[in-house]
A and B are shown apart, each in its own frame.
Chain A
Amino acid sequence: MTNDILVFVEQRAGRVHPGALQCLTPARALARKTGGTVVACVLGDAPDAAAQVVEQADVDRLIVVSDPALRFYSALRYRTALSAVIATVDPRILLLAATVMGRDLAPRLAVRNRAALATDVIELDLTADGALDAVRPLYNGKATCHVAFPADRLAIASVRPNTFPAPTGAGKPARETLPYAAAPGDDRIEIKEVVKTGGDIKDVSEADIIVSGGRALKNEENFKILFELARALDAAVGASRAACDAGYQPHSRQVGLTGKTVTPRLYIACGISGAIQHLAGMRGSKTIVAINTDPEAPIFKVADYGIVDDLFKVVPLLTQEVLKLKG
């Protein structure tokens, strides 16, 4: 085992996930402590665009695995390709983003490479004996705990997006290539179709800003004013469980316990009372705005800025003001 920190920089269709790039920031901090280097790796059928993005960042070494079979994420092919990278680098720590892909892939990598794993971490440090110690939320954000890793094996951590800033400083990493050598049976998963959803509106799991609505919106039609605000802010539209269960929005937009946990830069909750299950899914947001007619609504307890007023009056005005600002 070397002292190096390996970062898997996830990309889909040439687009690097911001959360994956953010992993380079704690990777550098850890490498300073281990005395190792930061090695990034990119996989795909045409990973060149993503590789160029990584080359602009603070990375010592870049490994690119390019193969037509890696066009779409497949749990089997990606675990095989990445395990080969792990075998080549022999890192002490592997970081990846806790995205749909990262959450899916990390446990397989851990088992295949006899590693230890913590998912969705928000802090990373090394103990005196050189073992990784991470902090992660659990019980739906109602608690946090430290995760102590054994020092004698690879430590893998998936990192919650928007926890660390994007890396600063540029490196001039040497670019290496590795082939993808298919393991027997890697073709047991085949991606048949990828259909874009949500039109021009971003998905809650990748947006920097989320405008979210609750039961107070009363119907699907009324969500229109949230979509207008979302467009003005280049934001995603989210919804509470109550709003999704009532059929106002699809469950793919649900934020909270049985929906998605989100940590955007800005979360605007409109007509959401703030049930404990909803707060669980969004309390990690950097700035929270609550708009609700009920001054006693629990959402105001987590909000940085609260407006006690009718959302049907506030939201259109807010859209206007934002559009003015953007000229």
Chain B
Amino acid sequence: MKILAVLKQVPDSTTNIKIRADRADIERAGVKLVLDPFCEFALEQAVRLKEQRSDVASVTALIVGPATAAEALRTALAVGADDGIHLQDEAFERLDELQTAVVIAAVVRDGGYDLILYGKQEIDLDSGQLGPALAEALDWPHVGAVTRLELAADGTTFVAHRRIEGAEERVAVRLPAVVTAEKGLCEMRYPSLPNLMKAKRKPVRTLKAADVPDLGRMIGDIGGVKLHAFAPPPERPPGRILQGDTEQKVKELVRLLREEAKAI
């Protein structure tokens, strides 16, 4: 069995997001980039499956991104992935998520993978499109936002747990399949320094747009949204601190919620 962990590099969650003057993007200079936390869960799950099972031959980590993404790939190799694929080309950076999914599908379709893991959404674009879109591009099943994954002994099916509104589902799926990770699936281990050094010697294949045959035709009729007019979030009007003793404050709150906010 071969497992693929798809990764994304994103601005650190504590980043103070500033909008560029032309509003075409956020300000990227000086922004600290990290491996997306949901991708960390996915990667760790992939590595644990390899450690726990003799039938898992390899874990490959794949990332689409500029030269800086090599660092996220190296983290993945230090955590336990065996090899890496880096799709690095300016042409790839102009793709939207659906187009990216179509390109990844083309690259991995004949790779012999049985299970692809990714995060349930990315903490930069927050869209969560890539996982399900990749599954559809491959015509594989997928289960989104998984909190527990149990691979059957024979390695042909798995049961995934996922939360829906007010309930938890247990879903049985035939491989090959895509799974996207929710918080709770597993926490990524900290890559040790020796493993970071060893990771340097693990093979990474870099692919350019020219290495993806028929790229233009493949993405010409799908997706193609353009993000523009970035803005800071709408300001909330300044709030009111209620005065008086505890009882007065509570009574005033209930009155305001009822009469002014009409919220209760």
Report A132-161 CB contacts with B as 1/0, cut-off 8 Å: 000001111111111111100100000000
* A142, B171: Cβ atoms closer than 8 Å: no
Q: B70 to nearest A CB, angstroms?
A: 23
> Among the listed A100, A143, A305, A313, which residue makes an inter-chain contact with B165, where contact means beta carbons less than 8 Å apart?
A100
* A254, B233: Cβ atoms closer than 8 Å: no
Task: Please report the C-alpha to C-alpha distance between residue A310 and residue B249 in the assembled complex, in whole angstroms.
Answer: 12
Task: Please report the C-alpha to C-alpha distance between residue A114 and residue B133 in the assembled complex, in whole angstroms.
Answer: 11
Task: Please report the C-alpha to C-alpha distance between residue A310 and residue B250 in the assembled complex, in whole angstroms.
Answer: 12
- With A144-B234, A251-B184, A300-B241 known as contacts, the answer to whether A305 contacts B256 (CB < 8 A) is yes
| Number of interface residues, chain B, beta carbon within 8 A | 86
Q: List chain B residues, Cβ under 8 A from A72.
A: 169
> Among the listed B139, B164, B240, B261, which residue makes an inter-chain contact with A100, where contact means beta carbons less than 8 Å apart?
B164
- With A191-B171, A251-B183, A305-B257 known as contacts, the answer to whether A314 contacts B264 (CB < 8 A) is no
> Among the listed B173, B226, B230, B251, which residue makes an inter-chain contact with A188, where contact means beta carbons less than 8 Å apart?
B173
* A107, B98: Cβ atoms closer than 8 Å: yes
Chain B binding surface, main DSSP class: mixed
Q: How many A-B residue pairs have CB under 8 A?
A: 271
Q: List chain B residues, Cβ under 8 A from A288.
A: 236, 239
Q: A217 to nearest B CB, angstroms?
A: 18
* B225, A304: Cβ atoms closer than 8 Å: no
Task: Please report the C-alpha to C-alpha distance between residue A197 and residue B223 in the assembled complex, in whole angstroms.
Answer: 37
Q: B128 to nearest A CB, angstroms?
A: 5
Task: Please report the C-alpha to C-alpha distance between residue A309 and residue B102 in the assembled complex, in whole angstroms.
Answer: 54
The answer to the question of B192 belonging to the interface, with a C-beta cut-off of 8 Å to chain A, is: no
Q: List chain B residues, Cβ under 8 A from A228.
A: none
Known contacts A108-B135, A116-B222, A194-B170; can you find 6 more A-B pairs with CB under 8 A?
A12-B165, A72-B169, A111-B133, A143-B17, A258-B123, A276-B14
**The 6 residue pairs across chains A and B that have the minimum distance between CB atoms:** A107-B133, A111-B136, A107-B132, A266-B263, A203-B166, A142-B17
